[in-house]
Amino acid sequence: MKSNWIKYIFAIFIIGILLFAIFKIRQDEEEKKQEQEYTSNQEEKNTELKLGIARF
């Protein structure tokens, strides 16, 4: 009976590690998306500024 408890604890530990890994991967993907959006917004502003100077 003691070995059954060890199996359950081990299974819970493995599930915990998997959940943590999934959470970490999603968080990294979210940060990359935000970084890409920031970069694209910054490029648009630079283009508008250059066009404004050229029209003057």
User: Closest Cα partner for 32 from 22, 20, 40?
Assistant: 40
Looking at residue 52, its amino acid is: G
d(CA 55, CA 43): 19
pLDDT digits (tens, 9 = 90+) for 25-48: 999 888 888 777 766 666 666 565
Q: Is the pLDDT of residue 51 over 60?
A: no
pLDDT digits (tens, 9 = 90+) for 19-31: 999 999 999 888 8
